[in-house]
Structure 1
Amino acid sequence: MKDVFLFSGFLGSGKTSMLTHVLKQFKEKGLKPAVIMNELGKLPFDSQALDEDIPLKEMLEGCICCSGAEKTEAQIQSLLADNEFDVLIIETTGAAHPVEALDAVYSPLFAESLNIKGIVTVADSKRWLERAALTPQVRSLFMEQIRHAHLLLANKMDLLTEAEQAKVVFEMQGVNPNAFILQTTNGKVPINLLENLQATAPSSNKEVQSAKIGKNLHLSSRLIELHQSYTQEEFEEWVRSLPSSVYRIKGYVAIEGIRNPFVFQYAYGLVQWIPEYINMPPKIVMIGENIQEIEVIGDK
């Protein structure tokens, strides 16, 4: 089981400084890290800061989420197959929504091989105080990155007065009361804070496996094995009964009368069925907020 950390934050917030600092600590501890680095441009500038002995996969042109999810899955599978490593760090582009990024890196193909510890968001504290000047779209994404963090770094604190520092922490805590907020300069975070990001989505159903993520389960992932087949109508009826806090479902569902399970995807109230030509094990990954108590189809 490989520990996985998702690094989030806007361009210029200090993600790469944090990444460099964290990699050094992991190596000093005798652990071998691997990195998937996502960038919006075509040239891998940030990756030049990494040591040559660290396995690295680059996702250029911002494709770690949305339409590039399949490419991300392929990169992770390649890392798992071809490299020996202890911990995986995925640095997202500053334009990535945390839910979409999490969706891209959590696949039923390798869910049992990865232990997603949580989302670490680096926030530029000065930009936070000046967020009213951002466009509505950028400000909304900035807030979402903070709201979904499991560990939040209020970075660039050295540029603020003590009163401004207190204001930043107080306001960020109001947006995300679940995250531990660390005041940092140059993205320096002790790795024990990352390693302590650990939680299990409990379930009363022993047949449901828990996906480990985050400290307080406000945003979590849950791996569910399906032990019977359904009609598409039955499965979609269950999906429609789910609360709006379920953002994504994806995986393989056995359909009555069909030889191989179908690929199933759900997002923003829309469902999609895709025929699969390989007999994949029927299991799905659910992503959302406070999903540990949701009753799974087939539960009694």
Structure 2
Amino acid sequence: MIDVYLLSGFLGSGKTSLLMSLIAELKEMGRKPAVLMNEFGSISIDSDTVGQSQDVPLKELLNGCICCTGSENTEAQLQGLLEEYDMDVILIETTGAAHPVEALDAVYSPLFAEKLCVKGIVTVADSKRWLERDKMSPQIRSLFLEQIRHAHILLANKTDLLTEEELATVSMELSNFNGTAQVIQTTNAKLSFSFIEATLSTMKEADMKTVISGKHLPLTSKLITFEKDVDKAEFEAWVQSLPDTVYRMKGYVPLKGTKNPFLFQYAYGLVNWMPEYIKMEARLVLIGEGVSQIEYM
């Protein structure tokens, strides 16, 4: 049977960073990983990045959550992986708008009963967002908490942004909130696959109850395209002017004086630029509440 691990967590928490480090470790171990990625909206930014840099079998689901796009879609993509490639581990990264239990339930199809062994849920939580969770709208906060509540392994991520006192508070509160999960403090979502595998092999199956569905969340996405290169300082000033309800941005931004658009990522007020060595299409995806009216200056 092929082991399946589900990576969960809110928008911008660090799931893709975890995914990429797990893929690299699995390949070093001589294992054969494959990936199913779910993107919010119709643009495949994260899956493009993973597919180009990691050279692994990859299928993607666009336009919503695994639990919302229909089980037939999920089954078709998994069936495609199983028929087209040789693998011994499948890593599923859900969109940040997915309830982990519903996403996991979508994988439990009779078609795969004798092929897949679901090992559990690894959830990445943004530690600063946890400390300021009361600022989130009620529906979004509910999803954020449910993602954490149902984790089997819980990463308290971005601990490098916290003081020692804040770190102690986050660790204690997360442990109290989810009393069965291992809570691991991480930076850049660094956690070894060997640890995940060993930890989940000793845990009992969790209670898989459904509480909230991602399809009822007031999240939308907005695609921004660029007709010309932009000034980096002006672009970052625009980013900082956006409302707090913009939770995530990702895409390729054409900067003045550079050959190729830079990979740009934004989560919870923090920005990250990475150079690209091939020319990617210049486009940016915004995810949040009420983003449809936002325009680039």
Sort the TM-score into its range (normalised by shorter chain).
0.5 to 0.7
Equivalent pair of 1:122/1:155 in contact (CA under 8 Å): yes
1:217 Cα deviation (Å)?
2.6
Q: What is the CA–CA distance in structure 1 between the aligned matches of 2:18 and 2:54, rounded to whole Å? A: 18
Equivalent pair of 1:118/1:197 in contact (CA under 8 Å): no
CA offsets, 1:85-117, max 9 Å, x none? 110000000010111101111111112211111
Q: What is the CA–CA distance in structure 2 between the aligned matches of 1:190 and 1:67, rounded to whole Å? A: 31
TM-score (norm 2): 0.67
SS of residue paired to 1:54: coil
Equivalent pair of 2:152/2:200 in contact (CA under 8 Å): no
Equivalent pair of 2:20/2:54 in contact (CA under 8 Å): no
Q: Determine which structure has greater relative contact order: mean sequence separation of CA pairs < 8 Å that are 6+ residues apart, divided by chain length.
A: 2
Equivalent pair of 2:15/2:124 in contact (CA under 8 Å): yes
Q: What is the CA–CA distance in structure 2 between the aligned matches of 1:131 and 1:34, rounded to whole Å? A: 33
Asked which structure has the greater CA Rg, the reply is 1
| RMSD after superposition | 1.6
- Equivalent in the alignment of 2:36: 36
- Equivalent in the alignment of 1:219: 207
Question: What is the aligned residue count?
Answer: 209
Q: What is the CA–CA distance in structure 1 between the aligned matches of 2:155 and 2:134, rounded to whole Å? A: 20
CA offsets, 1:205-261, max 9 Å, x none? xxxxxxxxx8233335xxxxxxxxxxxxxxxxxxxxxxxx5x59xxxxxxxxxxxxx
Q: What is the CA–CA distance in structure 2 between the aligned matches of 1:52 and 1:143, rounded to whole Å? A: 31
Structure 2 residue 35 is the aligned partner of structure 1 residue 47: no
Unaligned runs of at least 5 residues, structure 1: 200-213, 221-244, 249-300
Q: What is the CA–CA distance in structure 1 between the aligned matches of 2:207 and 2:24, rounded to whole Å? A: 28
Q: What is the CA–CA distance in structure 2 between the aligned matches of 1:86 and 1:116, rounded to whole Å? A: 12
- Equivalent in the alignment of 2:75: 73
Equivalent pair of 2:24/2:54 in contact (CA under 8 Å): no
Higher helix share: 2
Equivalent pair of 1:2/1:115 in contact (CA under 8 Å): yes
Equivalent pair of 1:121/1:153 in contact (CA under 8 Å): yes
- Equivalent in the alignment of 2:129: 127
SS of residue paired to 1:66: coil
- Equivalent in the alignment of 1:140: 142
SS of residue paired to 1:85: coil
- Equivalent in the alignment of 2:120: 118
* Residues 63 and 141 of structure 1, relative CA distance in 2, 3 Å threshold: closer
Q: What is the CA–CA distance in structure 2 between the aligned matches of 1:180 and 1:193, rounded to whole Å? A: 11
Equivalent pair of 1:178/1:216 in contact (CA under 8 Å): no
1:174 Cα deviation (Å)?
1.0
Structure 2 residue 22 is the aligned partner of structure 1 residue 22: yes
